[in-house]
Amino acid sequence: MSHIFLKSGLIRLSSFSADKLLAVSELGWFLQQNLKIFLYKNLTKIGILFIILLLGV
């Protein structure tokens, strides 16, 4: 009895983590798209900051 319960618990856990992973990857993709747009809009500012950081280090 406990073996069956454990098995169903593991299945539930694995499906839950799969859903979580999917949500995280979708969020990651969404952020990536927004980051690309943001980078394209602010490329010169970021470039200048990056150069300053490189020279400063």
Residue 42 has pLDDT above 70, yes or no: yes
Q: What is the mean pLDDT of the chain?
A: 79
Q: Does 43 have pLDDT greater than 60?
A: yes
CA distance 51 to 45: 10
Judged against a pLDDT cut of 70, whether residue 51 lies above it is answered with yes
- What pTM was estimated for this model as a whole? 0.39
Distance CA 54, CA 48 (A): 10
Q: How many whole angstroms separate alpha carbon 37 and alpha carbon 18?
A: 29
Are 46 and 39 in contact, with CB atoms under 8 Å apart? Answer: yes
What is the rounded CA–CA span in Å between residue 51 and residue 57?
Answer: 10
Q: What is the pLDDT of residues 6-30, one digit of tens each?
A: 677 666 666 767 778 788 888 888 8
